[in-house]
Structure 1
Amino acid sequence: MTTMDDLSRIADEVKALAKEIEPGLAFEPKYGGEVMVPDPEAPKAFVGGVFVYKDHVSVEFSQGAELEDPKGHLEGKGKARRHLKLHATDDIEGKDLASFLRQVLR
C-alpha cells in the first residue's frame, strides 16, 4: 500500500527532475496541486502540473496529445491533456517521465 509519505516523496522527485531539466522552472499552487511554470514572468503559461491523489501522483501535461509517446505511457483521451499516473518512485524512470518533461520544458 502506498502511503502519503510515499506519494510526497514521488512528487518531490518529480519536481526535482523537472528542475534538473529546466533550472529556471517554478511551481505555483493551483487546482489542488502545483503547476509547472517555465517562465515565472508569465505564470499563466504553465505546461502541466503535479497532483497528489490518495493512491498515486499524477503528472499532467497541458498539451500532452502533442507529445511523442512511442511506448504509450500517457493516459487520457481528451483533445489536448494527457497524464502519467505514478504509483512508486520506480515509475518515474519506468514511464519515461524525463522524456516528456524534456519535450514540454524545451
Structure 2
Amino acid sequence: MTSSNNEQVQSFLDDIIVSDPDKSDIIEKLRKVVFQTDSNINERMMYGGIMLSLERDFGGIFAYKNHVSFEFSFGASLDDPSNILEGGGKFRRHIKIHGLADIEAKKVASFVKQALELSINS
C-alpha cells in the first residue's frame, strides 16, 4: 500500500483496507496510476473521496457500494473517441471501476494524463 502525506487520506485508506479489501486494491491501483503520471499531485479528502490536484482539482477517486469511480472535474473536455466516460453534466465525467482489469480496459491512465494537462494548461 502506498501511503499518503495527507492524514485524512491515510485514515481513509487504512479504513477501506479493513472494510473492503477489493475496493482498497482498486483505489491503490488508481492512486499508482495518478502518481506515475506526476509524483507532485496533491491528495485531500473532500465529498467523501480523495480529491486530486496540482494547481487546481482535476479529479477524484470515490468508493461506492458496487464500484469505485474516478471522476474528472473537466471530463467533458477530454478526448474520448471510445465513449468510455460516463455522465452528462456540463463539465464532469466519470469512469466506473468494478475490478482491477477495468483500470487498463477503460484507459484510466490516458484520461488522467489528459485531465492533468488540461488542468495545467487552462
TM-score over 0.5 for the alignment?
yes
Q: Any stretches of 5+ residues in structure 1 without a counterpart?
A: 40-44
* Cα shift readout 1:67-100 (whole Å, capped 9, x = no counterpart): 0001110000011100000000000000000110
Q: Which has the larger radius of gyration?
A: 2
Counterpart residue type for residue 113 of structure 2: R
* Cα shift readout 1:26-56 (whole Å, capped 9, x = no counterpart): 11110000000123xxxxx211100011110
The reply on whether 1:80 has 2:91 as its aligned counterpart is: yes
RMSD of aligned alpha carbons: 1.1
1:104, CA displacement in angstroms? 1.2
Counterpart residue type for residue 105 of structure 1: L
Between the aligned partners of 2:32 and 2:54, the Cα distance in structure 1 is 14
8 Å contact kept, 1:4–1:54 = no
TM-score, normalised to structure 2's length?
0.78
Between the aligned partners of 1:66 and 1:105, the Cα distance in structure 2 is 12
Identity of aligned residues (%): 41
Between the aligned partners of 2:91 and 2:116, the Cα distance in structure 1 is 17
Structure 2 match to 1:61: 72
Counterpart residue type for residue 48 of structure 2: G
Counterpart residue type for residue 62 of structure 2: F
Q: Which runs of 4+ in 1 moved over 3 A?
A: none
Q: Any stretches of 5+ residues in structure 2 without a counterpart?
A: 1-18, 118-122
Between the aligned partners of 1:20 and 1:93, the Cα distance in structure 2 is 14
Higher share of residues assigned helix? 2
Q: How many residues align?
A: 99
Counterpart residue type for residue 51 of structure 2: V
